[in-house]
Amino acid sequence: MRASFKGFLFLLAALAAGLSHAQVKLRAWNIHPEGYPVTEAIKSFAEDVGKATRGKYQVEVFSNATLGDQPKAVQMLKSGEVDIAEFSSGPLSDAVPGIKVLNLPFLFKDSAHMFRHLDGKLGERFAANLKAAGFVVVGWYDGGARSFYCVKPVSSVSDLAGKKIRVQQSDVYIEMVKLLNATPVALPFKDVLDALQQDKVDCAENNLPSYESTGHYKVAKNVYVTSHVISPEALVVSTKLWDKLDKDERAAFSAAGAKSALLMRDLWNKRITLALETTTRQGAQFVKVKDASPMVRRMGPLYGKYMADPKTREELLTIIAD
């Protein structure tokens, strides 16, 4: 065999070997810091996807919203600039109106109630709405129970009236705060601490792990435990990426997503206990709402709106009934 021909064969073999190990780099958007349950769960997803696809898909996790805030990330996922993301249903629902009911205050009793629906038929319907809009759900994560917290003491719904309250960039949250006769201020998550410190807002609302991880508890020490929204979150893959995956790869992504969701929920429950301990130790005061019914009644117009819409009525009735 002539030397140049041998060289050519060698090159072909090297190319083929290279191709069979071709790596695809993927970007995952995450709003939370290192160590947070969501972050840990996405990392486990990334690792499992890598293993199951024998290193073909390498998921890099960009935490702390370094790639932009959530509404921006929603658009980036749609356009294919990021491939994977973990979103709160609030801002996500502005891009997918079919899941807006998930944000309604006082809809789910607790996380167990929420997952009974999300892990079942209803979850499949919401996932279908999301898929049609460009987001493939591979895991439902826990956004926990959200409550209000303020710089000044709050012990009744009327104390919230007139307050400037930070909300997520999401219609339902904005509407909810207006119905409490307060002023909604939609701000990106990372800007809330400054806004509380600089008196740009009087209050915010979130779950305990975020109240702690953001340091909001250092400024807004007065928590009014309303648990007004039990909030779903989702780990999603862009349909742009999904469409490129073959059957086995899709199964690998789905299995890794489902596993990461269970991990997330477990870490979440532990983190709630920890966050309560830390914030209490640092002086946060918790006042539990005695009777939520006046607050629930104020939400009437929001419920009226989604009941009147034939696209969302059935889902709403299913959740309320069970």
Sequence-separated (6 or more) residues with CB below 8 Å from residue 266: none
173/242 with CB nearer ligand BDP: 173
The reply on whether position 82 binds ligand BDP by CB under 6 A is no
Q: Centre a 10 Å sphere on the Cβ of residue 1 and count the other Cβ atoms it contains.
A: 7
Among 39, 70, 93, 238, binds ligand BDP (CB under 6 A): 70
Q: Is the dihedral of CA 131, 95, 176, 141 positive or negative?
A: positive
| CB-facing half-sphere around the CA of 242: CA atoms within 13 A | 18
* Long-range contacts of 196-200, Cβ-Cβ distance < 8 Å, separation of 24 or more: 196/151, 196/166, 196/220, 199/151, 200/164
Window 219-238: residues binding ligand BDP (CB under 6 A) = 233
72/131 with CB nearer ligand BDP: 72
Instruction: Give the chain's largest Cα–Cα span.
Output: 91
The reply on whether position 143 binds ligand BDP by CB under 6 A is yes
CB of 122 to ligand BDP, least distance (A): 21
Among 168, 222, 227, 238, binds ligand BDP (CB under 6 A): 168
The reply on whether position 45 binds ligand BDP by CB under 6 A is no
Residue count of the chain, please give it.
Answer: 322
Pairing of strands 183-186, 57-62: unpaired
CB of 162 to ligand BDP, least distance (A): 22
The reply on whether position 206 binds ligand BDP by CB under 6 A is yes
Window 170-199: residues binding ligand BDP (CB under 6 A) = 189
How many residues interact with ligand BDP (rule CB under 6 A)?
A: 10
* Residue ranges that bind ligand BDP, judged by CB under 6 A: 31, 70, 88, 143, 168, 189, 206-207, 210, 233
